[in-house]
Structure 1
Amino acid sequence: MSFRMRAAQERDLQHLYEMAKLTGGGFTNLPPDKKSLAAKLERSAKALTRDDEALSDDLFVLVLENAETGEVRGTCQLFSQVGQRWPFYSYRIGTLTQHSEELKRTFRADMLTLSTDLEGASEVGGLFLHPGERAGGLGLLIARSRYLFIREHRARFADRILAELRGVIDEAGGSPFWDGLAGRFFGMNFQDADQFNAVHGNQFIADLMPKHPIYTAMLPESARAVIGIPHPSGRAAMRMLENEGFGFENYIDIFDGGPTMTARTDAVRSIQEAEDSEIVAIGVEGGEKVLAAHGRLADYKATYAFIERHEGGGVAIDAHGAAVLGVDVGDTIAHVARW
């Protein structure tokens, strides 16, 4: 495979913009707005050149590159600590139980409470794979390369990690959840609110969103039906997150009602099972297929490769994988089994 993940650069702006136009809306971290994307790349560049290891408000943008042609066909983002520039809001689904002795009945009502519980966690997001490349495990390559990046820069990430999945969007590009709840308080449709959030942040949520809990029974059925449900295109992403150890803990996105998945960072499967090995030889036939990564910060690269384990802990790597990663004998790679 000639695809690899690497740190994004300024020259990737046009590629990111073209992919952003294909997302279909509701994709806050990848807005079809060049100015916003350029700001993300600038922020990522600053994070990649920061030489201390402190946990800070970093954004890292990675891209999937065809190593033979240089064409960018996918992307993802890592936020080291959310909620530092403005509050990180979620709705938390809870239950209120009340009992009437006179009626001899117990009533349980589901409620949505505006919450900043997840503030300070790290976030993986902005994952997008070009529709023309949705085969051959490239989605997994993008997703799992994020965790090896976190492992290689562990001090820069929090002990808790989250991933927001896009909620249900109708054929017209609207959100049943937004229309049934937040849209009533903001005087704007979902597309406008989503675009405003992507470009300007969500402080307007703090300004206008009702602070009292919302009884879900008061919402229209169209809104209730999509609470915590991922967009059909995000079901595979949800399964990948579950395979990594993420779980749904009753937090949902305030815009489209999509589920927010969370995990303990060190318990993420790709982080927990990865190991470091020195390359002792190049050129293997067959062997174990792994996700391999090498380099730090701006030099980080990840790809699928084949390895053979040698006595003493070293590995031999296939010549193609070595070339895509830019490694040689004596270099160390992080690797984890493909599954």
Structure 2
Amino acid sequence: MSWLVRAARESDLGALYEMAKLTGGGFTNLPADRAALAAKLARSAEAYASSEEAPGDHLYVLVLENAQTGAVRGTAQLFSGVGRSSPFYSYRLGTLSQISRELGRTFRAEMLTLTTDYEGCSEVGGLFLHPRERAGGLGMLLARSRYLFIAGHRARFAARIIAELRGVIDEGGGSPFWDGLGAKFFGMSFQEADEFNAINGSQVIADLMPRHPVYTAMLPEPARAAIGRPHPGGRAAMRMLEAEGFAHEGYVDLFDGGPTMVAATDALRSIRLAERSVLAGIAPGGARSLIASGRLADFRACWGLSGEGMIDAGAAALLDVAPGDEVIRVAA
């Protein structure tokens, strides 16, 4: 294997921009805007350079690189604490039951309520893999490397962690959920709102969303059908999140209605089962594992073979480690 996940650098801007143009919209954390991406990389560089060993308002950007060619073909992001600089809004899907004794009936109304319940949680997001590389376990490598980064920097992340999945987007690039709800208040298409959100942040639009509960029965059928459903291209990502221990508790995104997944950070499979050890030697053979080394800007992760304090030579070369160095690993 020649693929590794590493901390992003400012020189990755061009590769990230080219990938951003392939997302198809609705991918807020990877906008097809060079200035916005440059700002993300600058913020990430600040986070890697920070000495603060506590959950803060930090963003860490990772990239997937082919070590043989230097090509960057994927990216993922970690937010140490959402809602610290401005409110983090979600819609919570709930039910209000009312009983009429006169009619002998119970009426149950489903409604969306604006909340900041996930404020202070950490977040994993921004996962994108180039369409030509969606095989060979690279998506899993990119996704799970985030958890080994957290395991190696545990004090920097919160007790709970969320992941927002992109919602349903139609063939024209529109969002049935946005068209049925948000567009009524802002007079903006989903593409316009999505672009504004990606470049300027969601705060302005979120602050102006109606504060009263929204009865879903008042929404058009396409909007109702989209609530809590991931984009078809995100179903595999949802399964990966569920395999780690994430669950959907009824919270959805304000813009496209996509599901927000949540878990206890320490209960995530890749964090719970991660083993930290000092490398005893380099040897062939062993069990296929996800292996990581280095702190902050020196973080690297790759697939490799490991066992009894040993890892294979290929993994050692990708991670730039030698006997005596510390690694973190978890079974594939």
8 Å Cα contact 2:7/2:300 also seen in 1: yes
Between the aligned partners of 2:275 and 2:90, the Cα distance in structure 1 is: 35
- Give the AA of the match of 1:254: L
Shift of 1:207: 3.7
Superposed, 1:1-339 pairs within 5 Å as 1-284=1-284, 286-309=285-308, 315-338=309-332
Between the aligned partners of 1:203 and 1:300, the Cα distance in structure 2 is: 31
Report the aligned-residue RMSD. Answer: 0.8
Q: Structure 1: which 4+ aligned runs deviate by more than 4 Å? A: none
8 Å Cα contact 1:86/1:202 also seen in 2: no
- Give the AA of the match of 2:173: G
Unaligned runs of 5+ in 2: none
1:208-234 CA-to-partner distances (Å, cap 9, x unmatched) read 211100000110101011110000000
8 Å Cα contact 1:228/1:259 also seen in 2: yes
Shift of 1:180: 0.5
- Give the AA of the match of 1:161: I
Between the aligned partners of 2:314 and 2:207, the Cα distance in structure 1 is: 54
Shift of 1:87: 1.2
SS class of match (1:225): helix
Between the aligned partners of 1:98 and 1:87, the Cα distance in structure 2 is: 32
Decide whether aligned partners of structure 1 residues 42 and 176 sit closer, same or farther in structure 2, where only a CA change above 3 A counts: same
Between the aligned partners of 1:118 and 1:64, the Cα distance in structure 2 is: 28
1:61-102 CA-to-partner distances (Å, cap 9, x unmatched) read 000000111110000000000012221110000100000011
- Give the AA of the match of 1:190: F
- Give the AA of the match of 2:296: L
Between the aligned partners of 2:329 and 2:54, the Cα distance in structure 1 is: 25
SS class of match (2:211): coil
- Give the AA of the match of 2:54: A
Between the aligned partners of 1:281 and 1:237, the Cα distance in structure 2 is: 35
- Give the AA of the match of 2:327: I
SS class of match (1:74): strand
Aligned match of 1:312: none
8 Å Cα contact 1:177/1:222 also seen in 2: yes
8 Å Cα contact 2:41/2:61 also seen in 1: yes
Query: What TM-score comes out, normalization by structure 1 length?
Result: 0.97
Q: How many residues align?
A: 332
1:277-300 CA-to-partner distances (Å, cap 9, x unmatched) read 22112121x310000000000000
- Give the AA of the match of 1:295: G
Between the aligned partners of 2:322 and 2:69, the Cα distance in structure 1 is: 22
- Give the AA of the match of 1:67: A
1:24-65 CA-to-partner distances (Å, cap 9, x unmatched) read 000000000000000000000011011231221000000000
SS class of match (1:324): helix
Query: What TM-score comes out, normalization by structure 2 length?
Result: 0.99
1:299-339 CA-to-partner distances (Å, cap 9, x unmatched) read 00000010122xxxxx111111100000001111100000x
8 Å Cα contact 1:86/1:201 also seen in 2: no
Unaligned runs of 5+ in 1: 310-314
8 Å Cα contact 2:277/2:328 also seen in 1: yes
Between the aligned partners of 1:66 and 1:292, the Cα distance in structure 2 is: 16
8 Å Cα contact 1:287/1:308 also seen in 2: yes
1:113-158 CA-to-partner distances (Å, cap 9, x unmatched) read 0111101100000000000100000000000000000111111111
- Give the AA of the match of 1:291: L
Between the aligned partners of 2:11 and 2:206, the Cα distance in structure 1 is: 35
